[in-house]
Amino acid sequence: MSGGVDSSVAAALLQRAGWEAVGAFMRLGSDDSIEAAEGYDNLFDDCATDPSQPKPGGGRHQGCCSVNDAADARLVAAHLGVPFYVINFKRDFGRVIDYFVDEYNAGRTPNPCVRCNDWLKFGRLHDYAASIGAQYVASGHYARVGRDEHGRATLTRGRDVGKDQSYVLFGTTPAKLERMLLPIGDLQKSRVRELAEALGLPVFDKPDSQEICFVPDRDYARLVERRTQGGLDEGEIVDTSGAVLGTHGGQQRFTIGQRRGLDLAMGYPIYVVDKDAEANRVVVGTKADLAATGCVAGKVNWLDGALPDDWRPCGVKVRYNGGEGAGAVRVATDGDGATDIELRFDASIEAVTPGQAVVCYDGDRVIGGGWIDRAVRAAG
């Protein structure tokens, strides 16, 4: 229970369906989440009977797992009459922040929310659920768990296309899918808010969180600089032919497809089309230079049996907020013998970004995905 409307309604629906629900708030270690969990330093600390009744939202909101979110989650649990525990994931969450910084320093663009789901929400949280005898871990994600023709659990899109979060759950293993419940996956967001109000949940009109919880001011570069030994170094901005056009304050400040912040007057729109972390170089070009005909991805998580040796048609998403394209996928191996996947797109896709996830679909069903290592450009 993160303190938002989605997980709150998920808990209420489970309770209404007859499940014995136990609320859990992940203490991740930011200053305000530590403040929220002050006094709850044990692994599980029951605070559902806390008599305080703070105002939901507390007048400020800094993304998930803030002090106000902890208070709101506790308030909802008390309203529902379910046990509520603060679970200390501070040490585990450090892995997510380290990953975030390391990826930017390597010239990639990280996706910490996907990694948080993989490592914590459907990783460590499953371990803790097992330790208290819970059968399932439920969340307020807009996705669904179904069954294939063999009776195996599958991950499919949420009914609300605009809120679908199956992309960020692609890293969930088949074993974890068997123990997942996604109670609001069949609902539209508007219906979730209606239910929250009808059920008397005090967070029914709470805004959705938009920020990464450990970068509430959205200044990613400042966090990376602060946590990088020696800070960020100045480097060259070059065009696709290698000609030097200007300088920048660190390749970590840029991502593929970025247009703003280049401070170059070329007489036509230019975009970041590539980065070389080793040389600390940013490559710019035209919109046409952003087009990719495919990509190669590693750290594969496949949910649909064996990886295909030959091209298998699929839907393709290369970013959470992007649209879906059509393409095909097959297994590949890198130079070190590791298993990768290779994708080709039926039509070019812009700004395919190393470090982001590429997720493959068969209709509404997620069949697998991986982490983009490189884009295949239109010129080959």
Distances, alpha carbon 254 to alpha carbons 186, 281, 371, in Å: 37, 10, 19
Angle CA 284–287–288, to nearest 5: 105
Among 64, 116, 295, 314, which one carries the catalytic annotation? 116
Q: For residue 281, give the 3-state DSSP assignment.
A: strand
Residue type, 259: R
Q: For residue 187, give the 3-state DSSP assignment.
A: coil
Look-up of token digits 């009459």: 81
What DSSP assignment string belongs to 123-157? Answer: IIHHHHHHHTT-S-EE---SEEEEE-TTS-EEEEE
Among 213, 295, 314, 360, which one carries the catalytic annotation? 213
* 65 counts as catalytic: no
* 213 counts as catalytic: yes
H or E, element range at 375: strand 365-377
> How far apart are alpha carbons 142 and 156 in whole angstroms?
10
What DSSP assignment string belongs to 304-372? Answer: SSSPPSS-EEEEEESSTTSPPEEEEEEEEE-TTS-EEEEEEEEEEEE---TTSEEEEEETTEEEEEEEE
Q: For residue 24, give the 3-state DSSP assignment.
A: strand
Distances, alpha carbon 266 to alpha carbons 89, 259, 281, 285, 378, in Å: 48, 12, 18, 10, 23
> How far apart are alpha carbons 167 and 189 in whole angstroms?
17
- By annotation, the residues acting in catalysis are 116, 213
